[in-house]
Structure formats: structure tokens, C-alpha cells
């Protein structure tokens, strides 16, 4: 009878633990990126009343062992790492992971991991979690925007208000057509602009004048408001209408204190066919100074800054971590996890590569708690607790009857 009472007590404790896990799951039904827990039970070591015996040849058959169980205990409390639904927030620093992986966070001493992508920009420009941990990734070269993947990961910084320096024009490309039937001395003009070393705009006009020779044109480059030409030359075309003079270098001394610069004009996209003449600017690579106003993060974690001058530049890339056994991670609270001996080592890398999930910007991952299942488990846990409570009370009544036999 004492064994049955102890079995009922152990089962009651186990079902209380199960109810604790259920209560925590339901409490976090709206917690960002929360992963629900699951309880499993195991039988406690049994007491052997009689051992088993093998059959005797030509005699009696075998006898099974006789054992009495001593109750149950909690075998494990596992974390269910299945993905929760995605909730749009339209906040660019809010990130969700579509697939496997964790964001890598650090405070300089401790490295931890999370699926909660509710991030913000700190005063020093660092991308941080709500607990103040810094998001880890790779910073791009501030001049070239190139990410060096040979360097270790570190803090990601997005310096809103950062100034992008002026880039004077170095290359100009023109496109269009010069009519092959144009008569001698007829002129076709094309306006375009360039930037100097101070970011000032200079309005230019290039004029093409047909010479008396077939497939040959003279050109003259002038700046608005200045009479003297900046440069002159000629371009020729093949008998199939393609340009023979692909590129010409121009030396230019701007007004207003800017330094002397040299830029190239690309004529290779100009043709000479029997069509109406029209030449225009195709592209030029200069721009004025600008400040970083907004940013966006793509599915591969690339952070692109958008500046007030219309330019874009890669600022860095967020990396994700995966583990061979995610349920083996140690839960720290606040949606944070830490490596444990059974989780495996961290495998960091680019999102969307080698089994890692993709990043969704402007969204957060919701809890994966299924309320219907939790309520069902709650009923089962309650019934289990009630049944084992009845075992305890029944065993107590039997003991009471035993004690009254003396009377």
C-alpha cells in the first residue's frame, strides 16, 4: 500500500510539472518568437518481487519476472523549435527568420542567440535587441561597400545621418543615333551634366556636326555660360553604322574652387543609321554629397543604406547561426538561448545559404503555441492529477482500515 501511495505522489508531482509547462506556454501565447515546451514522462525503477526463470527441457515452462512499479518521473522538458507565423510590423529594423537559424547577439563578453528580431538602432548606430545585446554580422568597407568575409563577425552599425562624400564625375556615356543622311555642317546637340569635386553641377552640351566626309562627324563640348569649348574632336563610323571612336578623355577645370578633373565620354553606344538624329545622356557616375536617411534589409541579410542624394550603398550583412541540435540549447529567458554541451557548436553564415533561413524585414515571428493543443493537454493533465490523487486517498483509507484491525 505504501508503494501505491508513493506512486500516486510521484505521478501527482509529474503532472504538476506538466501543468507548470502548459501554464507557461499559454502565458507566452503572444510572446514574440516564443517556443513552447513539451513534457515527457518515464517509469521509475521497478521493485522486483520475483525473478524470471527459463523453461526446463521436458519439464515446466518458464516463469515471467514479478515486478511492481514505483511511479513515474519527468523524463524531459523539450523545446519545440518549429517556426511560428510571421506578423508584419512595417518597421525596417524588425526582422523575422523564414527557416532555420538564430540571430547572433553579443554584449562583448557573452554570445547568445534569439529568434526575436525586435531590433532597434542605438545612439551609437549599433543594431541592438530590446535587452541591449548587439546584433552580429559583417560590416562593409565604408568606402567601397564591399563585405570582407575573411574577417570575423562583429557589431552591425547603421549610422543614420552619416555623410556620403562627393564623387566627381569620371565617366559619361552617351547613346542615340546620328542620321547617316544628314547634310554637311548640320548639327545635332545633346545636353548632360557632370559633378565636380565640391559636388557642384556643371551643365554641358556636346554638339555633333556632319563633315563633308562620309561616316565622319566633328564634336564640340561646351559648358553653359562659357563661350570657349572644353574639348573638340571627331568620331567616325563603320559602313555598318557602328562607332569607331569608343571613348575620349576630357580635361576640365571647374569654376567655383573645385579641383581640376578628367572625365571620359563614351561614344560607343552612338550609331549612324538612316534614322532621325537624337543623342542623349545614358549615364554618368558622379554625385553630390548626401546623408544616410533610411535603410533596408533583404532576404540574404544585406543592409543597404539609401542616401539623400539618391545613392545606395551596402552597409553590412547580418549573419545567422544554426546548430545540429537546437532543442539542446539552454534557454536563458527573454527569448535568448545559449550553447550547451548537447546543442552542438555554432555554425554561422549568410542567410539563405547552407540550410539557413532567409530574413524577412519589417516583420516579427509570432509564438508557436497552439492554444487548442494546450487546452487539451490541460484537461489530460488535470485528469491525470485527479486520478493519482484518488490513488493516494484510497491507499490512505486502506491503511486506516489496516490500523483498525487491532480494535
SS3 category, 174: strand
- pLDDT digits over 205-218, tens only? 999 999 999 999 99
- Cβ–Cβ under 8 Å, residues 301 and 359: yes
- Cα–Cα distance measured from residue 274 to residue 99, given in angstroms and rounded to the nearest whole number: 57
306 in any annotated domain: yes
- pLDDT digits over 329-384, tens only? 999 989 999 999 999 999 999 999 999 999 999 999 999 999 999 999 999 999 98
Residues 243, 95 share a domain? no
Return the half-sphere exposure (C-beta side, CA atoms, 13 A cut-off) of residue 85.
7
Residues 242, 150 share a domain? no
Region of poorest pLDDT, from 97-101, 227-231, 360-364: 227-231
Residue-averaged pLDDT of the chain: 92
289 in any annotated domain: no
Q: What would the grid cell of residue 186 be? A: 548640320
Q: Is the pLDDT of residue 204 over 90?
A: yes
Give the model's confidence band at 224: pLDDT under 50 very low, under 70 low, under 90 confident, else very high: very high
- Cα–Cα distance measured from residue 396 to residue 403, given in angstroms and rounded to the nearest whole number: 11
Look up the pTM and report it. Answer: 0.82
Average pLDDT of the segment spanning 7-28: 90
Residue 393's domain comprises: 2-49+65-81+368-406
Residue with cell string 506556454 = 25
290 in any annotated domain: no
Average pLDDT of the segment spanning 88-105: 95
Residues 181, 119 share a domain? no
Residues 113, 20 share a domain? no
| Beta-carbon count within 10 A of 178 CB | 24
Residues 181, 135 share a domain? no
- pLDDT digits over 382-406, tens only? 998 888 888 878 887 777 877 787 6
56 in any annotated domain: no
Q: What is the pLDDT of residue 7?
A: 79
Q: What is the pLDDT of residue 51?
A: 83
Give the model's confidence band at 149: pLDDT under 50 very low, under 70 low, under 90 confident, else very high: confident
Residues 99, 136 share a domain? yes
154 in any annotated domain: yes
Q: Is the pLDDT of residue 64 over 90?
A: no
- How much of the chain exceeds pLDDT 90, in percent? 75
Q: Is the pLDDT of residue 36 over 80?
A: yes
Residues 301, 273 share a domain? no
Residues 188, 40 share a domain? no
SS3 category, 131: coil
| Beta-carbon count within 10 A of 313 CB | 20
The number of folded domains in the chain is 3
Of the candidates 336, 401, 355, 385, the one whose C-alpha atom is nearest the C-alpha of residue 104 is 336
Residues 185, 143 share a domain? no
304 in any annotated domain: yes
Residues 378, 353 share a domain? no
Please give the span between the terminal C-alpha atoms of the chain, in angstroms, as a whole number: 20
Residues 76, 28 share a domain? yes
166 in any annotated domain: no
- Cα–Cα distance measured from residue 357 to residue 377, given in angstroms and rounded to the nearest whole number: 31
- Cα–Cα distance measured from residue 325 to residue 345, given in angstroms and rounded to the nearest whole number: 9
Element of type H or E holding 222: strand 216-223
Q: What is the pLDDT of residue 1?
A: 56
- Cβ–Cβ under 8 Å, residues 41 and 1: no
176 in any annotated domain: yes
Residues 229, 280 share a domain? yes
Instruction: Say which DSSP state 319 is in.
Output: -
- Cβ–Cβ under 8 Å, residues 356 and 322: yes
Amino acid at each position: 500500500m505504501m508503494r501505491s501511495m508513493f506512486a500516486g505522489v510521484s505521478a501527482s508531482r509529474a503532472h504538476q510539472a506538466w501543468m507548470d509547462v502548459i501554464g507557461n506556454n499559454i502565458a507566452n501565447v503572444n510572446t514574440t518568437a516564443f517556443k513552447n515546451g513539451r513534457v515527457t514522462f518515464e517509469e521509475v525503477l521497478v521493485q522486483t518481487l520475483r525473478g524470471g526463470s527459463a523453461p526446463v527441457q521436458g519439464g515446466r515452462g518458464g516463469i515471467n519476472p514479478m515486478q511492481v512499479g514505483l511511479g513515474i518521473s519527468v523524463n524531459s522538458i523539450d523545446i519545440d523549435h518549429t517556426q511560428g507565423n510571421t506578423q508584419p510590423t512595417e518597421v525596417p529594423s524588425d526582422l523575422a527568420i523564414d527557416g532555420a537559424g538564430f540571430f547572433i547577439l553579443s554584449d562583448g563578453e557573452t554570445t547568445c542567440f534569439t529568434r526575436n528580431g525586435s531590433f532597434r538602432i542605438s545612439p551609437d548606430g549599433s543594431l541592438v535587441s530590446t535587452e541591449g545585446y548587439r546584433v552580429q554580422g559583417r560590416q562593409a568597407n565604408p568606402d567601397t561597400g564591399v563585405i570582407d568575409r575573411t574577417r570575423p563577425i562583429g557589431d552591425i552599425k547603421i549610422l543614420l545621418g552619416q555623410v556620403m562624400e562627393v564623387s566627381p564625375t569620371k565617366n559619361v556615356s552617351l547613346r542615340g543615333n546620328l542620321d547617316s543622311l544628314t547634310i554637311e555642317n548640320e548639327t545635332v546637340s545633346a545636353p548632360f551634366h557632370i559633378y565636380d569635386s565640391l559636388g557642384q553641377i556643371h551643365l554641358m552640351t556636346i554638339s555633333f556636326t556632319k563633315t563633308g566626309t562620309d561616316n565622319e562627324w566633328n564634336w564640340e563640348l561646351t559648358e553653359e555660360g562659357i563661350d570657349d569649348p572644353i574639348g573638340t574632336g571627331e568620331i567616325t563610323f563603320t559602313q555598318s553604322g557602328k562607332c569607331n571612336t569608343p571613348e575620349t578623355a576630357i580635361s576640365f577645370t571647374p569654376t567655383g574652387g573645385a579641383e581640376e578633373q578628367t572625365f571620359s565620354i563614351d561614344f560607343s553606344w552612338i550609331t549612324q543609321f538612316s534614322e532621325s538624329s537624337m543623342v542623349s545622356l545614358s549615364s554618368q557616375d558622379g554625385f553630390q554629397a548626401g546623408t544616410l536617411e533610411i535603410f533596408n534589409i533583404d532576404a540574404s541579410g544585406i543592409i543597404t543604406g539609401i542616401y539623400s542624394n539618391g545613392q545606395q550603398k551596402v552597409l553590412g550583412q547580418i549573419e545567422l547561426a544554426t546548430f545540429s541540435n537546437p532543442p539542446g540549447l539552454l534557454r536563458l529567458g527573454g527569448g535568448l538561448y545559449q550553447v550547451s554541451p548537447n546543442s552542438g557548436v555554432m555554425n554561422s553564415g549568410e542567410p539563405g545559404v547552407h540550410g539557413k533561413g532567409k530574413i524577412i524585414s519589417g516583420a516579427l515571428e509570432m509564438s508557436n503555441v497552439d492554444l487548442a493543443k494546450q487546452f487539451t493537454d490541460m484537461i489530460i493533465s488535470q485528469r491525470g492529477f485527479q486520478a493519482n490523487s484518488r490513488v493516494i486517498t484510497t491507499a490512505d483509507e486502506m491503511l486506516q482500515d489496516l490500523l483498525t484491525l487491532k480494535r
